[in-house]
A and B are shown apart, each in its own frame.
Chain A
Amino acid sequence: MKHVLTITVLVFGTLLSGDVLRKDACYACHLAVDEDRDEDARIMTHIDEDIHLQVGLSCADCHGGDPTAFDDPDAAMWDNDTFIGAVPREDQPDVCGKCHTDPNFMRQYTASVRTDEIQQYWTSQHGKLLKEGNSKVAVCTSCHGVHGIFPKDDPRSPVYPTHVPETCNSCHGNADYMAEFNIPTDQFEKYQTSVHGKALLEENDIGAPACNDCHGNHGALPPDVVTIADICGTCHVNNRKLFISSHLNYDMLEMGAKQCIECHGNHGIQHPTDDLLKVGTQKFVCQSCHEQHGDKAAILATQMDSVIDSLSVRYERAQKKIEHAEQLGMEVSDLYADLDDSRRALIQTRTSIHSFNFATVQKTAEPGFKATANALEGAQGALAEYNQRRVNLFIMIMAASFLVIMLIFKIKNMQKKS
C-alpha cells in the first residue's frame, strides 16, 4: 500500500509539475491584478516564458514572501519577513548575484555558465556610479528585462547580439537622460551607418561586433586596454599583428593618439577604401596628423597605393576577360582558381599596409601579381582559341557551302539532261 501511494504521488507530481505556477499565490494573484491593468502597464505578460520560471524558480526566489498564502495578501507579502517586493535598482546586483555568483548553484542549469557577472559589474562605469549612489545607471534589469528574461542567445532577448545596440541606446541615446554624464549620445546613430552596424542590423550577421564586443558587457567601460589595436585585433587579427610590430604602434602610444580610431573612426567606422591612401585628395587619411606633401607618410602612402592600385586594376582586367571568355562558351573554371588567388592576395596586400612598410606590402602583393598574370594569360589564351575556332569554323562552313553549291549545279545539270 505504501509503494502504491508513493508511485501515485510521483506520477501525479510529474504530471502536475508543468502546472506548478498555478499553485503559486504570487502568480495567481498578480495575474488577476494584471488583467485589470492597461496592456502597457502589465508586468506578467511574458512571465511564463521567463527563463527563471522555466527552470523551476518562483516569484518568491527573487522577491521573497510566502507563495503558499493564497487568500491572505498580508501573510503572503507585508507580514512576511522575507518579502522585499520590487527590488530597488541599487539592490539588483546583490539580489541577482545571490544565484549568479554561486558556481555550485548555477552549474545545475548549465556546465559552462559564468558566475563573474556581478564581480565584473562593480568594476564597470555603471557599477562604480551605482556604488556612488547614482541609481540612473544601468542595472541588471536595464539590459536583461524584468519579468520575461530570456537567455542571451534567444532572439527575443534584449541582449541578443542584434538587439544589443538598441538596448544600450535606450539610455545612451537619450540626451536628456544622459545630460548629467556629459558623454555623447549619437553613438547608435553613427553605429547604424557603420560597416559593423550594417552587417549586424541589416544583414543580421551576429558575428559583427555590437557595443559589448568593444566595451565589454557586465564590465562595460570605455576601452581602457593598453592599445586600441588589442580591441580591434580580437577580430582583425592580421591587422593587429602587423600594426603592433610597426613603428607606428609605439609612436602613437607615445603621442597619446588612439591608433586604429585615428584613421578609421569608432562608432561610425566605414568600410575602408583605397581612397584613404590617395595623397592630394580629401579622403587621404594620413593628412590628419602628417603634412600632406613631401612628408614621409605621403611618400609611403603613394608607394603602397601604387602597388594596391596596380594589382587591383590587373585583377579587374583579368576578371573581365575571364567573364567574357566564359560568356563565349569557353571552359575557364581553372582560371577562376587563379583569380581567387589574386583576389586573396589583393585583400592581404590591403591588410599589409598596417605594417607601414613598403617592402612588406610589395612582398605580400607578389603572389597576387603572379596569379593575376596567369589568369590574364589564360583568359587571353581562351579568347584567342575562340577566335581560332571561328576561323576554323568559317573555313569548314565555306568548304561545306562550296560543296552545296557544286551539288546544286550538278542537280540542275542532271535535271536539264533528263
Chain B
Amino acid sequence: MKIIDWIDERISLEAARKFAKKKEVPVFYGTVWYYLGGVALFLFIIQIFTGIMLTFYYQPGINTAYESVKFIVSKVSFGWLVREMHSWSANLFILFIFLHMFTVFFAKAYRKPREMTWLSGMLLLFVALGFGFSGYLLPWNELSYFATRVGTEIAGALPFVGDFILKFLRAGDEVSGATLTRFYGFHVAVLPLVAILILGVHLMLVQFQGMSVPPELEQKPEKRRGSIPFFPNFVLRDVTVWLVVFNIIALLALFFPWELGNKADPLAPAPAGIRPEWYFMFMFQTLKQIPAHFLFMEGELFGVLIFMIGGAIWMLVPFLDKHAGDPNFSDKKWNRVGIFAVAFIIVMTVWGYLV
C-alpha cells in the first residue's frame, strides 16, 4: 500500500486534489510577474529554516551576541553558509516583496475584489521591514549598533508618541543589551507569528480569488483566456524558478559574504559611513536632505510625517483609485504616482550610496 493511499484512507485528500485540479493560472504576457510573489514566499521559507538553525548557536547579549555569530561563521560546520543564506535571502526577500508590490500596483491587481489581498500584502511588507530592522542589530557590530541608534531616533521624532516608541524600541533611553534582547524577541517570536498569520490570510485570499488578470483580459469569457492548471504545471514552473533563485543565493553567499565587522562599542565615537540597510536608504537620504527646520516643525518630523502620509495613501490606493477596473477609462494618474514612487526610491537610494 502506498503511503499516499494510507493517508487518503484516513483523511480524504479528494477535496485538496479536486481544488488543485480545478485551479487554473491565466497565461498571457504578464504571467511572468506571477512568480515574484512565489519567490518571496520561497525566500521566507529559507528565512524560517536558516533562522531556526541560527538560534541553535546565537546568544543575545552584549557579551555574547557578536561572539556567538563569530563562532557560527568560523567554528560551526556550515555555519557560515547558514548565516550567509539567512542574510542574503533576507535582502532578496525584501527586494522581491517590493518587485511584487510594484507589479501588482501597475497591473492594478489591487482593484475590487482584491483590496484585502493588497492590504495584507502591505502589512507583510511592513513586517518584512521590521524583520530587517530587528535582525540588523542582532550581530551587535559597530554598523548595526549605530544604524539602530539612528533608526530609533527617527522613530522618536514623531509627535506625542515618539518618545514612547523610542523607549519601547530601545527598552530604555539608549540602545543597550536590553534593546538587543527585545529586538531578538521581536525577530524570532513576535514578527514570525504575525507574519505567518498575515501570510496565511494573504495566501488564502489568493487561492479563493484566483490570480488577477488585466482589466482588458478580464472582459473576455473565461474559456477564451489562455490558462494552465495550477498543479502540476504552474507549481513545477514555480519550483524551477525557486531552484534558480536558490543557486543565486548560494553564489552570492560564497562570492559576496556579509562582513561581521567590529564588535559594537557604545562608548566609541560613531565610525564613518554609518548607513541603514539598503531598503531604508531612500528614507534616510530624504531625511538628510530636509533642512533642520521646515515650515513650523523640525525637518526630521516633517520628513517622517510625509513618509507616513505617503505610505497611508499607497496602502489605501484600492479605495482611492475608483476606475482601476475599467479598461476604457484612460486616467493614468495612479500610474504616474507609481512611476514617481519607483523613480524616487531608485534615485534617493543611489544618491545615498554615492555620497
Q: Which residues of A contact B (CB under 8 A)?
A: 328-331, 333-334, 389-390, 393, 396-397, 400-401, 403-404, 407-408, 410-411, 414-415, 418
Q: Which residues of B contact A404 (CB under 8 A)?
A: 240, 243-244, 247
A401 to B240, CA, bound (A): 9
Tell me the B68-98 residues at the A interface (CB within 8 Å): 70, 73-74, 80-81
- Contact A411 B243, CB 8 Å, known A331-B73, A390-B254: no
A331's nearest neighbour on chain B, judged by CB, is B74
Partner of A331, one of B80, B232, B246: B80
Q: Which residues of B contact A (CB under 8 A)?
A: 70, 73-74, 80-81, 228, 232-233, 236-237, 239-240, 243-244, 246-247, 250-251, 253-254, 256-257, 259-260
A334 to B259, CA, bound (A): 16
Partner of B70, one of A331, A393, A408, A411: A331
B81's nearest neighbour on chain A, judged by CB, is A389
User: Which 9 A-B pairs rank lowest in CB-CB distance, beginning with the nearest?
Assistant: A329-B257, A331-B74, A407-B240, A331-B73, A404-B243, A400-B243, A397-B247, A400-B247, A393-B254
A328 to B73, CA, bound (A): 13
List 8 A-B pairs, Cβ < 8 Å.
A331-B70, A397-B250, A400-B243, A404-B243, A407-B240, A408-B240, A411-B233, A418-B228
A45 to B80, CA, bound (A): 68
Contact B251–A397 (Cβ < 8 Å): yes
A64 to B247, CA, bound (A): 93
- Contact A414 B250, CB 8 Å, known A333-B70, A407-B243: no
Contact A411–B240 (Cβ < 8 Å): yes
Q: Which residues of A contact B253 (CB under 8 A)?
A: 393
A329 to B251, CA, bound (A): 13
Q: Which residues of B contact A328 (CB under 8 A)?
A: 257
Q: Which residues of A contact B236 (CB under 8 A)?
A: 407, 410-411, 414
A329 to B261, CA, bound (A): 11
A411 to B259, CA, bound (A): 40
Q: Which residues of B contact A329 (CB under 8 A)?
A: 80, 254, 256-257, 259
Contact A403–B260 (Cβ < 8 Å): no
What is the distance, in angstroms, from A394's C-beta to the closest C-beta of chain B? Answer: 10
Q: Which residues of A contact B247 (CB under 8 A)?
A: 397, 400-401, 404
Partner of B246, one of A334, A400, A411, A415: A400
Q: Which residues of A contact B260 (CB under 8 A)?
A: 331
Partner of A396, one of B70, B240, B250: B250
Q: Which residues of A contact B233 (CB under 8 A)?
A: 411, 414-415, 418
A332's nearest neighbour on chain B, judged by CB, is B74
- Contact A393 B251, CB 8 Å, known A400-B243, A404-B240: yes
A21 to B260, CA, bound (A): 63
Q: Which residues of A contact B228 (CB under 8 A)?
A: 418
A330 to B254, CA, bound (A): 10
Q: Which residues of A contact B232 (CB under 8 A)?
A: 414
What is the distance, in angstroms, from A391's C-beta to the closest C-beta of chain B? Answer: 11
Contact B70–A403 (Cβ < 8 Å): no
A401 to B247, CA, bound (A): 8
Q: Which residues of B contact A334 (CB under 8 A)?
A: 74
B84's nearest neighbour on chain A, judged by CB, is A329
A331 to B256, CA, bound (A): 14
A393 to B239, CA, bound (A): 20
A20 to B70, CA, bound (A): 66
A339 to B74, CA, bound (A): 18
A415 to B247, CA, bound (A): 26
B253's nearest neighbour on chain A, judged by CB, is A393
A415 to B236, CA, bound (A): 12
Given contacts A331-B73, A407-B236, A407-B243, 6 further A-B contacts (CB under 8 A): A329-B254, A333-B70, A390-B254, A396-B250, A400-B250, A415-B233
Q: Which residues of A contact B80 (CB under 8 A)?
A: 329, 331, 389
What is the distance, in angstroms, from A406's C-beta to the closest C-beta of chain B? Answer: 9
